[in-house]
Amino acid sequence: MSALDSNFLTLLRVHLVSVLKLPKRIIRPNKTNRRSDQRMSSAKLDQFQTSGRPTWAEIDLENLGANFNVIKKRIGAERRIMSVVKANAYGHGAVGCARRLAHEGTHWFGVALPEEGIELRDSGIAQPILSLGGFWDTQASACIQHQLTPVVYRLDMVQALNQAALEAGVVADVHVKIDTGMGRLGIRFDQLSEFVDGEAVKFFRERGYRPTHLHLANSPGVWGHSEGWGNMVRPGGALYGLWRDILPPAAEKPGLAPVMSLYSRITLLKWVPQGETIGYGCTFEASRKSLIATLPVGYDDGYMRGLSNRAHVIVRGTYAPVVGRVSMDFVLIDVTNVEAAEVGDKVTLIGQEGELKIPAEDLAKIAGTLSYEVTCGISERVPRLYV
């Protein structure tokens, strides 16, 4: 018996979901639609910044909203957007981001796990929520109870959910996940066509299912492959303004603005004589008398060790190099060339100050990873400040 043609599925509504490895393409710009209704007052900001360790991530909800509207304009009013807010909205804070995206009119939310969906429900999010990773053995009832829609890709998942729906006396939706090439989750496309020749949607329709939603496209798909848009798209990274290492190398900019900035403050300044080494493993030796500043941020905060001796930060409108090894709780920077650097100066580790920029994508490149891992990696001990 197959999950697809058994008739015990009467309590489940079937939709299609799929993941495709999408090649990349040139990007066209769109104007952003800026709003300022959720900005934090500067008084509140100051209070926040002095209330604990001076290391924080600023989440620009205005840019998040603008990015959502760039995507909306790109795909057209006839299609829906599922905003992917899994992994704590790629480190940006799931609840704060979901509230803003709901305000902007997102139709769906995408999470990786039922637990993430429950967090959104508990915070009052009412939009449909898709659990993109499905659910685990004991979670079928929780999905029903919290009105979470999971993807399914195994017969026993369908059975468990059907049973939970029966017990609760409700009709539950599922999205059937088809593996179109990632080889990760989903029913293999060629296993579907063993039953019926032709493509998956036709296969379902011929068996009497009427999928409401057909969706395939993540951020690169939104920019590169309109044929994969279906009637809903599932962007994540683009919402958070992460695109340089996600979308194709672009002749033009896509009009997406970064949402997360990471800041700290100088907590100690000291002169180090020429020839002296600093940091674990003595990996940096001062080639001149150097003014070294200590920042209370380290790899436990997500500022990766791979950035040691390689990244820069911005202080007082000047790039300053990270010197020595990034340690668990502290980073050292060379501020010899920064005019009048002082204890308490704000330091930009990710973000923009005037013309100077440090995108998450640049840090990712230095550390040999992806911008998503940079923002996801900003740990829980770094407070998020929504501005």
Query: Taking the complex as a whole, how short is the minimal distance between the CB of residue 185 and ligand PLP, in angstroms?
Result: 8
Q: Which residues are catalytic?
A: 86, 280
User: What mask of x and - would describe binding to ligand PLP in positions 10 to 49, judged by CB under 6 A?
Assistant: ---------x------------------------------
318 closest CA partner among 289, 290, 345: 345
DSSP line for 65-109:
HHHHHHHHHHH-TTSEEEEE-HHHHHTT-HHHHHHHHHHHT-SEE
Measure the CA dihedral 22/26/30/34, to 10°: 60
Query: Taking the complex as a whole, how short is the minimal distance between the CB of residue 219 and ligand PLP, in angstroms?
Result: 3
Triad 361, 243, 376: Cα angle to 5°: 60
Using rule CB under 6 A, residue 219 touches ligand PLP: yes
- The span of 8-16, 58-66, 96-104, 230-238 binding ligand PLP (CB under 6 A) equals 230-238
Instruction: For tokens 């004589």, name the residue.
Output: 273
User: What mask of x and - would describe binding to ligand PLP in positions 109 to 148, judged by CB under 6 A?
Assistant: -x---------------------x----------------
Instruction: Give the separation between CA 294 and CA 387, rounded to whole angstroms.
Output: 26
Q: Which is nearer to ligand PLP, 237 or 255 (CB)?
A: 237
Instruction: Give the separation between CA 72 and CA 81, rounded to whole angstroms.
Output: 7
Report which residue's Cβ sits closest to ligand PLP.
Answer: 236
Tell me how many residues contact ligand PLP (CB under 6 A).
Answer: 12
Using rule CB under 6 A, residue 54 touches ligand PLP: no
Query: Taking the complex as a whole, how short is the minimal distance between the CB of residue 301 and ligand PLP, in angstroms?
Result: 23
Is 261 within 8 Å of 352 (Cβ atoms)? yes
- Stated as kind and residue range, the H or E segment containing 375 is helix 371-377
Q: Which is nearer to ligand PLP, 228 or 279 (CB)?
A: 228
- Stated as kind and residue range, the H or E segment containing 114 is helix 114-122
Query: Taking the complex as a whole, how short is the minimal distance between the CB of residue 238 and ligand PLP, in angstroms?
Result: 6
Q: Which residues bind ligand PLP (CB under 6 A)?
A: 19, 84, 110, 132, 218-219, 234-238, 246
